[in-house]
Amino acid sequence: MNLSPTRSDPGHAQGGIALRAQTPNEAEVLAMDLAAWWGGFELPTWAQSVTLDRPEGGWSVHCTLQPNALEQLMPGHDTLGLHQRLSQTKDDRPEWTVEREIAVALLGSPHLFSFANLAALQSHIRVRRNMVLAARKTALAFKTEAAERPEADWRYQEGPGFILNPGRPLIDALVAATQPEATGKLYDFSCYRATEYVILLGIAQELAAHHPALLADLQRLNERHAVRSGQFHDVFLIEYGSMAAPLPSRFYVPGDRLWFRNPDERSSDIEGYEGSWVIYMGGGLFSNFWQRDRPFTLESKAIEIFHWRHGARVDNQGQLVMDESVVEQHVAQTERDPQARQQVLERMVRMRDPQGVYAEGGCIDATREHPRNVSRDDCKLVLPTF
pLDDT at 8: 45
Contacts of 98 (CB under 8 A, 6+ apart): 128, 129, 132, 133, 254, 282
Task: Judge whether residue 46 has pLDDT over 90.
Answer: no
Identify which has the larger pLDDT, 101 or 31.
Answer: 101
Distance CA 76, CA 352 (A): 19
Which range in 12-26, 79-93, 145-159, 314-328 is most confidently predicted, on average pLDDT? 314-328
Residues 369 and 237: beta-carbon distance below 8 Å: yes
Residue range 205-240, pLDDT digits in tens: 999 999 999 999 999 999 999 999 999 999 999 999
Collapsing DSSP to helix, strand or coil, 283 comes out as coil
CA 229 to mean position of chain CA atoms: 16
Task: Judge whether residue 10 has pLDDT over 70.
Answer: no
- Report the pLDDT averaged over residues 62-83: 95
* Cβ neighbours around 31 below 10 Å, total: 23
pLDDT at 23: 87
Provide the pLDDT confidence category of residue 143 given band limits of 50, 70 and 90.
Answer: low
Collapsing DSSP to helix, strand or coil, 286 comes out as strand
Task: Report the relative pairing of strands 112-115 and 16-21 from DSSP bridges.
Answer: parallel
Computed over every residue of the chain, the mean pLDDT equals: 92
Residues 275 and 263: beta-carbon distance below 8 Å: no
Distance CA 194, CA 148 (A): 12
Provide the pLDDT confidence category of residue 51 given band limits of 50, 70 and 90.
Answer: confident
Provide the pLDDT confidence category of residue 199 given band limits of 50, 70 and 90.
Answer: very high
Identify which has the larger pLDDT, 28 or 198.
Answer: 198
| Residue 283 Cα distances to 109, 130, 249, 337, 350, angstroms | 16, 15, 16, 25, 21
Helix (H) or strand (E) holding 69: helix 67-73
Q: What percent of the chain has pLDDT over 70?
A: 95
CA 204 to mean position of chain CA atoms: 16
* Cβ neighbours around 61 below 10 Å, total: 25
Q: What is the CA radius of gyration of the chain?
A: 22
What is the phi/psi pair of residue 278, to 5°? -140, 165
To the nearest 10°, report the CA torsion of 143, 149, 150, 152: -160
Helix (H) or strand (E) holding 238: strand 237-240
Q: What percent of the chain has pLDDT over 90?
A: 79
pLDDT at 25: 87
pLDDT at 4: 42
Provide the pLDDT confidence category of residue 42 given band limits of 50, 70 and 90.
Answer: confident
* pTM: predicted TM-score of the whole model, two decimal places: 0.94
pLDDT at 146: 62
Q: Which of 294, 303, 273, 299 lies closest to 136, judged by CA?
A: 294
